[in-house]
Amino acid sequence: MSRRRCYVVYCHPLDDSFAHAALERVLAGLARRPDVDVRLSDLYADDFSPEFSLEERRTHKDSPDGKTEIAEYADNLRWCDSLIVVHPTWFSGPPAMLKGWLDRVLVQGVAWTLPDGASRLKPLLRNIRAITVVTTHGSSKLINSLQGEAGKRIWFRSVRVLCHPLTRCRWVAFYGIDRASDAKRRAFLGRVERAMQRV
């Protein structure tokens, strides 16, 4: 049986946050599986710069070779078959640092290419067969639905189309966390760890 290759991307500034507790359960769940290799990127610990600079915009369609700031992240994306993202939802989407990671890392030559004369991007992350997002929302599921779940669309529409056409998606979300009891918080963390058994 071939081994699964899971790339975990985590984004939260505080080590004592609920998001960090969720990350610990993600890693614990994956560690229980004998068939999984894991790589982790902690964007705040990495001091990742989310700024998509003027020069990067000018060279957006150039080869990623030589872009040393994103080389390790690009290598991890090309290596994995499962992408697992852990982040809070702020203002209906991922934190600015994680959005900047998407802007700076999922570039031409890493996540897509535009062949000469073509009008549509060609996806390059065909190795990714599963995307799992673990996130929290202060508001309810109803409010998020009425708002259109912009954060969910980023991962399961925009990012997914750059992956294998049969990529499976899983949204593991805790809604209404601001008013949730400790019991509900513990139950969600258990759900997170169990979800890793099905990645």
Rounded-to-integer distance, Cα 92 and Cα 196, Å = 24
Higher pLDDT, residue 61 or 163: 163
- Please give the Cα distance from 103 to 130 (Å, whole number): 20
* pLDDT tens string 87-142: 999 998 999 999 999 999 999 999 999 888 888 899 999 999 999 999 999 888 88
Measure the CA–CA gap between 9 and 194, rounded to whole angstroms: 18
Which DSSP helix (H) or strand (E) runs through 190? Answer: helix 182-195
Q: Give me the pLDDT at residue 172, please.
A: 98
**Among residues 141, 151, 25, 168, which one has the least CA distance to residue 88?**
151
More reliable by pLDDT, 56 or 162? 162
- Determine if the pTM surpasses 0.85: yes
For the four alpha carbons of 79, 92, 61 and 45, in that order, the dihedral sign comes to: negative
Give the per-residue pLDDT at 1: 59
Q: Can you tell me which residue has the tokens 């994956």?
A: 30
Q: Work out whether strand 112-113 and strand 122-123 pair parallel, antiparallel, or are unpaired.
A: antiparallel
Digit-coded pLDDT (tens) for 3-36: 999 999 999 999 999 999 999 999 999 999 999 9
pLDDT at site 119? 84
| β-sheet bridge partners, residue 39 | 7
Selection from 11, 15, 7 nearest residue 73 by Cα? 7
The C-alpha atoms of residue 106 and residue 28 are separated, in whole angstroms, by: 28
Domains of the chain: residue spans and CATH = 4-198 (3.40.50.360)
CB 166 within 8 A of CB 118: no
pLDDT tens-digit profile of 134-177?
999 988 888 878 877 889 999 999 999 999 999 999 999 999 99
